[in-house]
Amino acid sequence: MVSLGALMRRFRLSSTSRIKAFVYLATEKAPLYRAIMRVFVESKERFLFQLSKHDVFNAVRTFDLPEPPEQPDIDSALAQLCEWGNLQAHHDTANVTAVEDFYKQRYAFQITRQGEAAERASSVFEAAAEKVNDLHCGLADIRDVLRQLRDLSREPNPGKTHRSLFVLHICFEEVASAAQMLISRLERRIELEPSEVRHLIVDTERFVSELVLAVDEIGQSVRDIEAAGLEQLFQSVAHRIVRGSIERAADNTINAEIKDDLNAICVELRSRWDRFRNWFISQPGSPSSAERVRERARASIPALLAVITSINDQRIHRIDRSSDFRILARWFAEADSDEEAHRLWRAVFGLCPARHLSINNITLDDYEAQDIPANTSWLDAPPLRISLRLQEYGSHSQNAGLSRIVDRTLEKEKLAAATHEQALRILNAHARFGTGRRMRLSELENLDTGEFDLFLDLLGEAVSARVFSEDVVEIVSGNGCLRIKLEPTGDGQEALIHTGEGTLSGPDHWIGIEQV
């Protein structure tokens, strides 16, 4: 087996080579390139390493592509993939029977290591993007593997220990990924349907209850394994991995290169174990990731219930003006003619002919004497005579004189002066706080009223943005002018800020404010 150090030295590729190997995934002809790369990967699995242009063309024709490729398209794609380093071309002399055939430009193509790695990485990425991990099975598998490791710590077996650590790493990555996906779904709860919200609540409650039970057992198993000798397990696994290098060494001695490989493997295993341990076991002043997931999940359940309640209320008491207008617009679009659209307009908005004008007795008697039906069009009916005063003022009554206009000039000047003074106080506060200097809250011993109001608003926005009291939070103020960073000092000191309206006290924090 190849050692970790040898693997690291073997895969030290330049950044240019790594980037070119993935270029084919983001081009206009990406579907064709992907199909060609899949042909080579699948052929290699059948132990067919070299393919001709004709072989590639016949294989690609079986793929469901937007446009069926022709032979020139395949030739161009093969040449481009060779230029990027995903494929390499060799002279094909397998079927040469004459000198003329030898001088013909015939090539066989083979996938390179970096090309195969890029294609397999893209396949793994697509599979991971569509995969939904099971939190419950992952926690059960982790507990089973830890029981095996606890037994192996008493009776060492390098082979079984190596397999158990590998399985533990895979199960842990699945659980961590599934937990991140769960929290992500909880945070975008507004986009979910009611049925999805109900299933999400059930899954969240079930996961939280199982996580509470699993954390205690996992934590105890971790402590038992560490007490029995975790480093011995790492050393045994490292020696098993580099066993081939030791056997090839002279007199089975461990030279400096093998020691470096052993140390590198132990460092990698120890790093994975520490990450796993910190995910499930809290440290003083630093809650574990499992505790953070549990707090986020519990805090999100009331919000999910509120979403369902809001949706049900909308369905039961559906008074939605925008929805009514959308339905009305659809009715207008489905109208067969303009006449039906006009009838719909009159029915909806009640725009009926006006027959209720206030007129004098003479005009009314003359109008009634003509006996005009109510359904007569305004175009056909005789004109209705209205007095000039009614046309200009809308009423025959004599109105009293206009009331005297109140002069509000002094009040406006006072409001303008107060607004200007308030703007100056805010600008002065911006100039004092927005320097970007990191300082303690206790350093702000005295603040005037304007500075205190602005500072209290900024402090309130920063405190409300964090989930846990020991979190470091960085936000932008509501007006977009200042960036605030708040972090606890951790020394238990208290800050006192004296103002004209009283004294503000609380835990001391580091705060930095800078202008955006």
Q: What is the pLDDT of residues 94-121, one digit of tens each?
A: 555 555 555 556 778 888 888 888 888 8
Burial class of residue 4 (count of CB atoms within 10 Å of its CB; 0-12, 13-18, 19+): buried
How far apart CA 503 and CA 480 sit, in angstroms, is: 28
Beta-bridge partner residues of 494: 507
Mean per-residue pLDDT, 328-342: 89
Given a contact cutoff of 8 angstroms between Cβ atoms, the answer to whether 461 and 477 are in contact is yes
Angle between helix 158-187 and 256-280 (nearest 10): 40
How far apart CA 345 and CA 471 sit, in angstroms, is: 59
Q: How confident is the model at residue 7 (pLDDT cuts 50, 70, 90)?
A: very low
**Nearest-CA neighbor of 367 among 359, 378, 387?**
359
Q: What is the pLDDT of residues 375-430, one digit of tens each?
A: 788 778 777 666 555 555 555 555 555 566 778 888 888 888 888 887 777 777 66
Report residue 68 as tokens: 């069926």
The most confident of the ranges 235-249, 364-378, 393-407, 500-514 is 500-514
Report residue 456 as tokens: 């209290």
pTM for the model stands at 0.43
**Nearest-CA neighbor of 143 among 226, 222, 218, 227?**
218
Pairing mode, strands 494-499 and 446-447: parallel
Given a contact cutoff of 8 angstroms between Cβ atoms, the answer to whether 484 and 438 are in contact is no
Q: How confident is the model at residue 2 (pLDDT cuts 50, 70, 90)?
A: very low
Burial class of residue 147 (count of CB atoms within 10 Å of its CB; 0-12, 13-18, 19+): middle
Beta-bridge partner residues of 488: 509
Torsion of CA 415, 420, 426, 427, to 10 degrees: 170
pLDDT at 4: 35
Alpha helices in 242-360 (DSSP H): 243-248, 256-280, 289-316, 321-333, 338-349
CB count in 10 Å sphere of residue 423: 11
CA distance to 112, 114, 118, 234, 335, per residue, from 79 (Å): 14, 16, 18, 47, 59
Q: Which amino acid is at 462?
A: A
pLDDT at 368: 74
**What is the SS3 assignment for 447-481?**
ECHHHHHHHHHHHHHHHHCCCCCCCCEEEECCCCC
Query: DSSP character for 374?
Result: T
All domains of the chain, ordered by start, with CATH?
4-127 (1.10.10.10), 132-308 (1.20.58), 319-348 (no CATH), 420-515 (no CATH)
How far apart CA 248 and CA 261 sit, in angstroms, is: 15
